[in-house]
Chains A and B, each alone.
Chain A
Amino acid sequence: MQLTLEGVTKRVGAAMHLYPLDFALQPHAVTVLLGATQAGKTTLMRLMAGLDVPSQGRVLVDGDNVTGRPVRERNVAMVYQQFINYPSLRVADNIASPLKLRGGLDRATIDQRVRELAAKLHIDPFLDRLPAELSGGQQQRVALARALAKEAPLMLLDEPLVNLDYKLREELREELSALFASGDSTVVYATTEPTEALLLGGYTAVLDAGELLQYGPTAEVFHRPQSLRVARAFSDPPINLLAGSVVSSGIQLAAEVPLAVPLAAAKTLADVTERSVTVGIRAGALRVQAQPGDVALTGRVELAEISGSDTFVHVAAAVGPLVAQLTGVHYFELGAAISLYLDPAQLYVFDARGALLIAPAFPGAR
């Protein structure tokens, strides 16, 4: 199914929830809507589903104008952040309800389909229970099963895993990826977490403050953010941003730290008219062991957070505050002097208006 939004906006009262956007969804693939809360993910999703009518613009399904057509007459499935099931129906009836309403299916077929889905989502022992008797994770599985039962060409998931605990979230995300891959539906998946977008793969649309900033294959959006805003939104931990200026040898950061840039990038810089740029360094690109060609950034340790297998070091560097993500558990004394090393090839450079000038090469780049 091909879903296209043309010049769609959404205004509620005086507040603009979505600025005009054009969006052609990649058919038969997973599209991740990535953005912070209030970015407009849910608004956009509700317009796609037909739960809300856009203030302006058109929604097309396979070239057919469906703007304003009620959701009942469209073929979509949706899973919410809250665990939404019919509380008065048994789990089996919950899953079966879209099948029953569609008509034309006999009892045995519906029964078999419900059993298949329940087995796939590991809720087959609970088919005779009411949703309220299940745990949160199981309730969300019921909601997912009901959405999958519909076999709708468009499936919308609005932060479906947010209300689950960490372990369940990982487990269910893996299962979802497998389910999406085996299905033929166009899937839209909203999330606030950049890591989730990367894990799901497919395509990513970055939203910020009601604007669609960039849409493309997830890896490409991640490695080549078109603008500073995209880089900021698609970075966890947050990308380090430093002010710099273009000089003949490359870029110079504050405190006179020179950064040599790779040759290809240097050509791009030669065309830049404005001298001031913003340098972006992903937290993972900083390391404590120097390698040949690295630039050293010195400073003092302000905070070291150990999260499982990673250590996040907050450093007050001469060039500005930096956060480094180090693999493994490292212990740092607060206030101790530290040198962080950076391969200049890992730099992102944005011009004064925030547009991308230089991005590191990434495997599979076009």
Chain B
Amino acid sequence: MNEARFRWRTLFLLGYLLFALLPIYWMVNMSFKTNQEILASFTLLPQQFTLANYATIFTDASWYSGYINSLIYVAINMVISIAVALPAAYAFSRYSFIGDKHVFFWLLTNRMTPPAVFLLPFFQLYTTLGLMDTHIAVALAHLVFNVPLAVWILEGFMSGIPREIDETAYIDGYSFPRFFFTIFLPLIKSGVGVAAFFCFMFSWVELLLARTLTSVDAKPIVSVMTRTVSASGMDWAVLAAAGTLTILPGAVVIWFVRHYIAKGFAMGRV
């Protein structure tokens, strides 16, 4: 009886795992094939294993600059988000001021709005200011979504630190900046990691704003990937290789923050 249940559970989980990983497997599989093989036959493993697709991406500037552009604005966005969210989260967690709950909720509502709503105002504003097609433009646009999230996550972690630690530090004679950077920040470093991770994830996969606000100089990889249709048809293999490379940074970041995320769940946020 027990054994049978165990077997069913195992089967179910294996089935689920297969279901979840199949698309990723298929993409990785395709990235090592030639276009011909993809279109002509159904093969579970590449028959003519090739790295040519990856070579194309790493040598063609129009491809690899897409990755560089994306990484630049994602990094700028992460740095600004955390730098802005830290003091805001500290204020929300430590002080009570008029309308604090409302402001906190209003911040979160920004996160609930679809990015498309902000598209037109951003486009108009950036055209006027001459910010179109720059990395900072995309980074700034993404702040609307990432700062509220970062504030929310960080506030949760900060509220888990007893206020008495702050007070003890003031009693001992710490100045605020010194306390914040030498005592407080080390205590919430996992929160900073989790917040940075979520900023990264949003900014990295966001397509609409990133594509609309850039054209050539700051064109992100997600946007580059949409132009693989050419006169000679679809370049499936290179597209698959590009897709595989898009997953990698996220996987690396998740690997680094995996313990912190578990902690974030335990602390009631994330």
Residue numbers of A with Cβ under 8 A of B are 49, 51, 70-72, 76-78, 80, 82, 84, 86-89, 97-98, 101-102, 146, 150
Contacts and interface: CB of A to CB of B under 8 A. Distances in A.
Given A86-B169, A86-B183, A88-B186, A101 B162 contact: no
B171 A101 contact: no
Interface string B148-181: 0000000000000010110111111111000000
Nearest to A79: B168
Contacts of A76: 171
B173 A102 contact: yes
A101 B167 contact: no
B164 A101 contact: no
B173 A101 contact: yes
A105 to B, nearest CB: 13
13 contacts: A70-B170, A71-B171, A72-B173, A78-B167, A78-B168, A78-B171, A86-B183, A88-B186, A88-B187, A97-B172, A98-B173, A146-B168, A150-B172
Contacts of A146: 168, 172
Contact of A49 (B162, B165, B171, B174): B171
A84 B171 CA distance: 12
Contacts of B164: 80, 82, 84
Residue of B167, B168, B174 ringed by the most chain A CB atoms within 10 A: B168
A102 B167 CA distance: 17
Given A51-B167, A78-B167, A84 B172 contact: no
Main secondary structure of the interface of B (DSSP, over half): helix
Contacts of A102: 173
A22 B175 CA distance: 32
Nearest to B189: A88
Contacts of A84: 162, 164-165, 168
Contact of A101 (B165, B174, B186, B187): B174
Contacts of B171: 49, 51, 71-72, 76-78
Contacts of A86: 165, 168-169, 183
A51 B172 CA distance: 12
Contacts of A72: 170-171, 173-175
Nearest to A146: B172
Contact of A82 (B162, B173, B186): B162
Interface string B180-215: 000100110000000000000000000000000000
A77 B168 CA distance: 8
| Smallest CB-CB A-B distances: 6 pairs | A88-B186, A101-B173, A98-B172, A84-B164, A80-B164, A72-B170
Contacts of B169: 86
Contact of B187 (A49, A82, A87, A97): A87
A288 B174 CA distance: 60
Nearest to A103: B173
Contacts of A98: 172-173
Nearest to B172: A98
Contacts of B187: 87-88
B183 A88 contact: yes
Interface string B248-259: 000000000000
Contacts of A87: 165, 186-187
A207 B32 CA distance: 79
Contacts of A88: 183, 186-187
B207 to A, nearest CB: 40
Nearest to A101: B173
